[in-house]
Amino acid sequence: MIDRKKMKRIVKRILIDKRDWLAERAKLVAEIEANRDGDRVHIYEWSRDCDMCEGDSVTTCPATVPAVIQWRDGWASSLEGPGNCEIISAQDAAEFVASFRDRAAEAAGY
């Protein structure tokens, strides 16, 4: 059986985590609203895989919190190395030019 002090610490940690999540959700709502393009948002993503190939691209998804979270979680679960994604404006998306690099090949002189 868990003693009372330990239970209070656990409950306090859960409440702190919930506040953090609510703050992150509020920030995401603001980002979506600030960058909405009709009923969609543009998401910039960059990643490097385990073979040192890296690239970036822009994709779109519905401009709702659940859709953005679902996209982000799916994207993050498929990463093989470091990566970053962020919501960008429609103007930035229109001006974006995708890139790809094979750093291992570059290091070998190819």
Q: Say what the pLDDT of residue 36 is.
A: 96
Question: What pTM does this model have?
Answer: 0.79
Contact, 59 vs 45, CB < 8 A?
Answer: yes
Q: Cα(89)–Cα(66) distance, rounded to whole angstroms? A: 19
Determine the average pLDDT of the residues in 88-94: 97
Cite the DSSP H helix spans in the chain.
4-35, 65-77, 90-95, 103-107
Q: Say what the pLDDT of residue 24 is.
A: 86
| Report for 20-24, 51-55, 77-81, 93-97: range of highest mean pLDDT | 93-97
Q: Domain segments of the chain: what residues?
A: 4-107
Q: Say what the pLDDT of residue 22 is.
A: 81
Q: Say what the pLDDT of residue 23 is.
A: 83
Q: What is the pLDDT of residues 10-69, one digit of tens each?
A: 666 666 666 678 888 899 999 999 999 999 999 999 999 988 999 999 999 999 999 999
- HEC string of 29-45 equals HHHHHHHCECCEEEEEE
Predicted confidence (pLDDT) at residue 2 exceeds the cutoff of 80: no
